[in-house]
């Protein structure tokens, strides 16, 4: 009976923590990008979902594992030209 009562809070904790961590990473990365580039640059955010067909070969090539099934990417532009990618 004791284990049954702990299951629900543990499941909620397991779902909420990754959401909080990833939200913090995105905000921190955007703050750093805004500090690095001038005020007239524009950040375009894209959340790129990694399918297993893409994810597995990349992991094998770089010998590292992805933490999740998506990657945050930004296109940094100034006016009509692209300044960089992050």
Helix (H) or strand (E) holding 47: strand 42-49
The model's pLDDT over 14-49, given as tens digits with 9 standing for 90+, comes to 554 555 455 678 888 888 888 888 878 899 999 989
pLDDT for residue 1: 47
pTM (whole model) above 0.75: no
Task: Pull the structure tokens for residue 31.
Answer: 């703050």
Separation CA 84–CA 77 (nearest Å): 7
Contacts of 77 (CB under 8 A, 6+ apart): 41, 42, 44, 83
Round to whole Å and give the CA distance between 48 and 66: 13
């Amino acid at each position: 009976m004791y284990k049954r009562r702990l299951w629900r809070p543990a499941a909620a904790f397991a779902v909420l923590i990754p959401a909080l961590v990833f939200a913090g990473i995105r905000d921190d990365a955007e703050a750093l990008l805004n500090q690095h580039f001038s005020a007239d640059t524009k950040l375009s955010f894209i959340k790129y979902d990694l399918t297993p067909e893409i994810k597995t070969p990349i992991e094998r090539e770089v010998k590292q594992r992805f933490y999740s099934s998506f990657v945050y990417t930004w296109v940094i532009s100034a006016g009509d030209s692209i300044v960089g990618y992050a």
